[in-house]
Structure 1
C-alpha cells in the first residue's frame, strides 16, 4: 500500500522509511532486559551530543507532557512563576502553573510582537521568582523568538529557565547550554512518530526538583535522574518509539547539525519566496519566522484552502489556532520535510488553488 499524500504540517512530520523499519523490530521488555537499558543510555548519550550537555530524560508521552512535567516538577503550591509569552504556548504555561498550585505571573505582548526584555526585567525586579517559562518557536504563528536577551535577564536574577523548544530543536540552533530545562518532542524536527518527550535538565534544575515532593507521578521528573543507571524505569517505556527515535537521531547526526540547519533555512527561504510571488504575506514577517514553519496570512480563507489542497492535491497543511484559525495557513518545512522539492510541490498546489 502506498500513500502519496504529502503532509506539510508543523508536526507531526513525515517519518523516514528507516525510522519506520526500525520500529518494526521485535519489541523487548524494557523493564527486565539489561540490553535495553544499555540501548537507552546510548540513546540519551546521542541526545546529549545534540543538546550539548546536561542530563537527558525521555518521557513516554507527546510533547505537551514535557511542558506539564517541567511545571509539575519545579513548582510548589504558592510559588510565583514568570510566564513570558507572545503566543498560545507561552500563555499556556500559565495554565499548568495554576494547575499545580503556583501563582502564574504572565508577562505577555501581542502575538505579532517580539518578547520584551525590558518588561521581563521589570517583572524580575522584586526577586520573587524561582522559575520562568518561555517558548523558542511559537508553532501556531511560526515566530522564532530571540530568547537569548531574556535568558540573560533570567541568569542575572538566578531564575531557572524552562524553554519549549519543541518546534525548533533539531532544525534550528537552540542555546541549550543556557537553558535549565529544554523541552523537545519526537514528532517535530526529529521526524519520528508522536509519543516521546525529550528534555535536558541542568544541575540547578535537579536541585530544585529534588527539594520537594510533587503531587504527581507520571509528570514527576525526579525518578528519571538515576533510573537508567539503576536499571529500572518509573513505568514501562515505549520501546518501539525509542527505537524509532534512535534511528531518527542517527540520521540527524550523520547528516551533521550544521547541514541540517542549512537545509531548514534553504527550504524556508524557498517557501517564502514562492509565497511572495503569490502575493501572500508572512505572519508576522519573514525576518522573525522560524526556519521550521511558515504562517501565511489568508484572511477568512484558511479552512477552505486547507480542504481543497487535501481533496484535490493530496497535500495536508495546518490552519492557525485560536484567533488566527480562520486567517492563517501554516506550512511545516521541518525535519524530513525541510526539502525544496516538497516545498515546491506544496506551493505549486497552493498556486493552482489560489
Structure 2
C-alpha cells in the first residue's frame, strides 16, 4: 500500500479541516478539569443545534454502532418485538444487532437501492404489533437517503417509538429531530461532522426516556441514565477522548458558522456535480439520480473492469481513497463520498483520476470530460441558490 497522504472521498471517515486538526493537536486536557468541563458544555450546546433538538444529546466514546447499541439496550427487553427497516447493508446490521440481544425482530426489507415507503411501514407496524421501529436515514451501501419525515409521522400516528440511524446524514441533509418527532437519533463524529472517528451521539426524546424505565436489557457502559447524570455535571462517567471533543467543538463551529441550510445546499451541489461527471463518461449510476443522493454517489464500472482494482489504483497512484461495494456488487460498484470537508475541486480531481484509470484498464472513456461536467453542474446549482 502506498504511504502517500490520502484524500478521503468516502462516506466515512471523512477528511478533517485544518483548523480541526490544529484543535486536535492542542495539549491534552484532563477529563475532570474545569477546562474540559467548559469545552464539553459547549460541545453539547452545538450538538443540540446540529441535531435541531432541545433534548439531551448523549456523548459516547465509540463508533456510531456503539450509539445504536446503546439505543437497543436502553429501550428494549428480551423478547420485545421490534420492526427493523432495511434497504441495504446497514439496515441488515441493525436487524442482526437486535437479534443478538434476544429481541423478536420483524424485518421490513426493501431491495437494495430502494427507499422505504410510509404505506409499507404503516402496514408492517400494524401486522407486527411492534412498539419500536429502527430506520436508516442514509444507507451508505447504496447512496439512498430516505424521505424520513413521513416515516416518522407514521411511527407517531401508530404510537411506535422511532430510532433513527443518522450516522452519515446528520449535518449533510435536512433532519429535524424535534419538528419531525424522532424519538432517538444516533450519529458519529467521523462523517459530515468533520471530526476524527471516536465519538458517537444519541439525541433522546422524553418518550424514549420513559421507555428506559421499563427496559430490562443489561447495560453498564451504555447506560443512558448514568451518562445523563454525568453530563448534567458537564462530565462523562468514563474517560472520554478529550482531544477529540476539543476537535469536535471546532468542527461543529465550522458546520454552524454558515448555517445548516447552507451546508445542506453545498452537499446537494456536490452530489449533482459528482453525478454529472460520472454520467459524462458513460458510467451507470447506482445511487439515485436526484438530490436525495447528497451523501455519496455510487457508480458501476464498465463490464470487465474490476472496481476493486480501480479503487486500489486511485489510492496508490493518485492518493485518493474512495469506497467499494458490498455483497454481490463488490467487483462492479464504487462509491464517492461528498460529505464533510469536501470541495468541488476534490470531486473534479477524483473524477479525472477515474477517467485515467478506466482508460488504462481498457475502457472506452474520453479523457477530460468529467471535471468540466462537474464544474458546470456545481456552478449551475450555486447560481440558482
Cross-structure match for 1:347 = 351
Separation in 2 of the partners of 1:328 and 1:217? 40
Separation in 1 of the partners of 2:216 and 2:34? 30
- Superposed CA deviations along residues 25-51 of structure 1, whole A, max 9, x for unmatched, are 221221x32332232122111111111
Over the aligned positions, Cα root-mean-square deviation in angstroms equals 1.7
Separation in 2 of the partners of 1:28 and 1:313? 37
Separation in 2 of the partners of 1:268 and 1:279? 17
1:175 positional shift: 2.9
Cross-structure match for 1:234 = 237
Separation in 2 of the partners of 1:142 and 1:89? 12
Contact 1:75 1:100 in 2 (8 A): no
Q: Secondary structure in 2 aligned to 1:158?
A: coil
Residues 100-109 or 297-306, more deviating = 297-306
Q: Secondary structure in 2 aligned to 1:50?
A: helix
Q: Secondary structure in 2 aligned to 1:225?
A: helix
Contact 1:214 1:220 in 2 (8 A): no
1:246 aligns with 2:253: no
1:93 positional shift: 1.0
Unpaired runs of 5+ in structure 2?
Answer: 359-385
Cross-structure match for 1:309 = 314
Cross-structure match for 2:33 = 33
Contact 1:34 1:231 in 2 (8 A): no
Residues 206-215 or 262-271, more deviating = 206-215
Unpaired runs of 5+ in structure 1?
Answer: none
Separation in 2 of the partners of 1:226 and 1:38? 17
Q: Secondary structure in 2 aligned to 1:133?
A: strand
Separation in 2 of the partners of 1:92 and 1:204? 25
1:287 positional shift: 2.1
Residues 220-229 or 72-81, more deviating = 220-229
1:220 positional shift: 2.4
- Superposed CA deviations along residues 35-77 of structure 1, whole A, max 9, x for unmatched, are 3223212211111111111211110011111111111111110
1:210 positional shift: 2.8
Separation in 1 of the partners of 2:167 and 2:28? 27
1:331 aligns with 2:336: yes
TM-score (norm 1): 0.94
Q: Secondary structure in 1 aligned to 2:113?
A: coil
Separation in 2 of the partners of 1:60 and 1:229? 17
1:162 aligns with 2:167: no
1:262 positional shift: 1.3
1:289 positional shift: 4.6
- Superposed CA deviations along residues 198-235 of structure 1, whole A, max 9, x for unmatched, are 22110111111233343121222221223122355221
Q: Secondary structure in 1 aligned to 2:290?
A: helix
Cross-structure match for 1:220 = 223
